[in-house]
Structure 1
Amino acid sequence: MGPMGETRIIDAAERRARLGVRHRLAGSARAGSAAEVADALVALHGTDPASVFLAVAARLAEGVEPVGAVERALYEDGSLVRMHGMRHTVFVFPSSLAAAVQASTTRPAAVRERTTLLKHLAAGSDFDGEWLAETERLVLGELAVRGEATGAELGGAVPRLRSTYVYGAGTRQEGVQSVASRVLRVLGMEGRIVRGRPQGSWTSSRFRWALAEEHPVRDPAEARAELLGHWLGACGPATEADLTWWTGWKVTDVRKALAAVGAVSVAVDGGTGFVLPDDLEPVASPEPWAALLPALDPTAMGWQGRDWYLDPDHRAALFDRSGNIGPTVWWNGRIVGGWAQRPDGSLVRRLLADVGAEAERAIGAEAERLAEWLGDVRVTPRFRTPLERELSAH
């Protein structure tokens, strides 16, 4: 509430100002390290490994080399960790949040994942819980000896991982599936193993696995409050619908976490949003800024309600059928187009709105910066969207 009990209004313009500063996209707000970027965003989408590096690259200050910065944080100093999080999705989190994520979000999902795996094994094979437990024991023992190994290497050392089972027997989805990917997924979600450095380049998803450091036991409600507090600091104001979508929690859990952090209701376009109690002061717009953000960027995917930064008429071109966003072009807090990389390495973009000469120059400069950094690297998003497909094909 504002003075005299009046509801604080945070309009779309101020939300875009907050986004430019807090998400490290305005030139003056850029970060000095990958960990600083992840802390500002709370989580980097990790389903597509290249997106992590591209999201960091868009937000780093000049002179900081993105690949080295991310790899040091992930594989050397451990300030970032890759793990399952919200909506059963792989993210890269600041390691300081890993225990809160595990307790609030990943552990409940892991319970469901294990239950589902046991159900599928019982229906499509002769394997039972005892067989699964022994297989996991062998995998963990192998990693204790090796230090790290790919799924293929573990399959060579633990023959049980090469077993298969029938999925969806008697249905249209019937097929033979490998045990390995499901077992490693469960162990990863339970926080017993962790994805390490991949084979090949930074765009590769052929990760090595290693034993994970044990997360301290946390009270789930306290962990939910901690995670939500960080996210509101980065993305507030957010509606209840935004929060339930982003976290994947029950509405009752979201409401309890909002109460635990003392969240304050504010008026946003289209309804009621929430901010932290110390976040009611106006935020001024930063200097004009442009950005080329990758597919699945956490800013583009940060809210369920996106009309304040995305024209609804552009959704069909920029999203796939599952709701994954492709590469986007931004100007002053709005998505104004999309971009793609062609097989010859050239970057192409299309603006979906008339943004003016100043914006076009700034967007062109960002495109040149990205192209120079990518060099000979080729990046194809894992989830292809209509505009990205069209641009990359010509």
Structure 2
Amino acid sequence: MTRPLASATPITPRALNRATLARQLLLARHRWSPLKALRHLMGLQAQAPEPPYLALLARLEGFEPAQLTRLLERTTVVRMAALRSTLHLIPADEALSLRGLLQPMMKRVLQASRGRLLDGLDLDVVAAAAQRLLRSQPLTHGQLGTALQRLWPERDADALATAARNLLPLAHLPPAGCWGCHARPQLEIHEAGAADHTLGVDALVLRYLQAFGPARPQDMALWCGLTQLGASFERLSPRLIRLVDEAGQEHFDLPRAPRPAPDTAAPPRLLGPWDALLLSYADRRRFLREVHRRSVFTNNGIVRPTAWVDGRVAGTWALLDGDKTARIEVSALEPLSQPDRSALTLEAQRLLHAVHPQKRHEIRIGRGDA
């Protein structure tokens, strides 16, 4: 950790919380286009089709799921492996620049997960072979692995396809990534967009702070998967301010970025699974009590949907979709006041109306395991 300078400004936990929520568009819904929000947030986690839609419903006023579906169908937004080597929705004209910057991390993750199965292979040759196959026609991950295995019969098909995934900018063709579509995605090589440009680490740091600050290099490393970011933060330090929290941890921030008053109201929100807000800080105490961590982060890598009250995680929730009825069940992790329960109920009604307008809606709020 960087030693806090004498010039660092103290920041309270609540002020740090409100600053974070302001950057994440969670203190008030914004009248932004989905594409503008995607740019600001540097993509949206898309391990499953639904989380990006839920992220925008929580953050944007007037957002309709069909808007994001149209962006995917027009390939204005693409779904591909990016931050942390996990699937994200990214503006198409920024996808190659971001992937290029993240490529060292993508190779490191590949080595950690499939290195033994790929040992001795020239991965550049594998990537070139995959590129030729995909320029001929789109293929699923399984089909690509099978085709590559014909060239390397002694190798594992899934490992070969994973090598292509991590070495090449492979986009999922719609309807993959659209709400409710869980079919195996067809893959194609994403071509450069008109606005694609070289993105440097320093530029990425500034954009990260705009959407996730105040933050530390350790936080950004968790967000994107890159390492050794401290040098970039220090290099940029003349353009940044330093804030020190009650634990003595130093946070960097942009001088003109919003840092609302600590008593600013934070309305209840329902965030979807794997929301980036929960995946972008090494120290999540600014919005999540440690006693609740295991209720949100499971042992098998799931990050549950979360219910937020007064800017903090207060519960988890699930969407149960029946033939005629759609129900949201909230499991509170701590006691909720009647006004908070009523506000969460309104938030749940809003969500159900957006994603299942034709069905009957039910909402249940109960006490979960703390």
Q: TM-score range by the shorter chain?
A: 0.7 to 0.9
CA contact (8 A) 1:193 1:209 kept: yes
Question: Counterpart of 1:349?
Answer: 330
1:226 correspondence with 2:203 = yes
1:136 correspondence with 2:130 = yes
Query: Helix, strand or coil: the match of 1:92?
Result: strand
CA contact (8 A) 1:149 1:209 kept: yes
CA contact (8 A) 2:19 2:260 kept: yes
Question: Counterpart of 1:19?
Answer: 20
Question: Counterpart of 2:236?
Answer: 260
**1:306-325 mapped onto 2 (5 Å cutoff):** 306-322=284-300, 324-325=302-303
Structure 2: distance between partners of 1:235 and 1:377: 36
Question: Counterpart of 2:363?
Answer: none
Give the deviation of 1:322 after TM superposition: 4.8
Gaps of 5+ in 2: 1-5, 360-365
**1:108-127 mapped onto 2 (5 Å cutoff):** 108-110=105-107, 113=110, 120-121=117-118
CA contact (8 A) 1:295 1:327 kept: yes
**1:76-225 mapped onto 2 (5 Å cutoff):** 76=74, 78=76, 80-95=77-92, 97-110=94-107, 113=110, 120-121=117-118, 132=126, 135-143=129-137, 148-151=138-141, 159-160=147-148, 177=156, 179=157, 181-198=158-175, 202-205=179-182, 206-214=184-192, 218=198, 223-225=200-202
Deviates more, 1:287-296 or 1:89-98: 89-98
The alpha-carbon distance between structure 1 residues 70 and 138, as it changes in their structure 2 partners (threshold 3 A), is same
Question: Counterpart of 1:174?
Answer: none
Structure 2: distance between partners of 1:235 and 1:244: 12
Structure 1: distance between partners of 2:131 and 2:189: 12
Structure 1: distance between partners of 2:131 and 2:82: 24
Give the deviation of 1:30 after TM superposition: 2.6
Question: Counterpart of 2:351?
Answer: 370
Question: Counterpart of 1:250?
Answer: 227
CA deviation vs aligned residue, 1:260-300 (integer Å, no higher than 9, x gap): 36333211232333333424774235444111111101122
CA contact (8 A) 1:20 1:332 kept: no
CA contact (8 A) 2:20 2:213 kept: no
The alpha-carbon distance between structure 1 residues 376 and 134, as it changes in their structure 2 partners (threshold 3 A), is same
Structure 1: distance between partners of 2:253 and 2:333: 34
Structure 2: distance between partners of 1:13 and 1:310: 12
1:295 correspondence with 2:273 = yes
The alpha-carbon distance between structure 1 residues 108 and 360, as it changes in their structure 2 partners (threshold 3 A), is closer
CA contact (8 A) 2:173 2:188 kept: yes
Query: Helix, strand or coil: the match of 2:80?
Result: strand
Structure 2: distance between partners of 1:267 and 1:107: 31
Q: Number of matched residues? A: 350
Structure 2: distance between partners of 1:210 and 1:275: 38
The alpha-carbon distance between structure 1 residues 258 and 361, as it changes in their structure 2 partners (threshold 3 A), is farther
CA contact (8 A) 1:310 1:335 kept: yes
CA contact (8 A) 2:148 2:160 kept: no
Give the deviation of 1:113 after TM superposition: 3.0
Query: Helix, strand or coil: the match of 2:38?
Result: helix
CA RMSD of aligned residues (A): 3.6
CA contact (8 A) 1:244 1:254 kept: no
CA contact (8 A) 1:17 1:283 kept: yes
Give the deviation of 1:233 after TM superposition: 1.1
Query: Helix, strand or coil: the match of 1:300?
Result: helix
Question: Counterpart of 1:73?
Answer: 71
The alpha-carbon distance between structure 1 residues 56 and 377, as it changes in their structure 2 partners (threshold 3 A), is farther
CA deviation vs aligned residue, 1:318-340 (integer Å, no higher than 9, x gap): 21115542011001210011111
CA contact (8 A) 1:100 1:226 kept: no
Gaps of 5+ in 1: 168-176, 379-387
Query: Helix, strand or coil: the match of 1:198?
Result: coil
Structure 1: distance between partners of 2:314 and 2:109: 39
The alpha-carbon distance between structure 1 residues 137 and 70, as it changes in their structure 2 partners (threshold 3 A), is closer
Question: Counterpart of 1:36?
Answer: 36
Structure 2: distance between partners of 1:267 and 1:103: 33
Structure 2: distance between partners of 1:13 and 1:56: 24
CA contact (8 A) 1:31 1:37 kept: no
CA contact (8 A) 1:24 1:31 kept: no
Structure 2: distance between partners of 1:129 and 1:352: 47
Structure 1: distance between partners of 2:264 and 2:67: 26
Query: Helix, strand or coil: the match of 1:245?
Result: helix
Percent identity (aligned): 20
The alpha-carbon distance between structure 1 residues 192 and 340, as it changes in their structure 2 partners (threshold 3 A), is closer
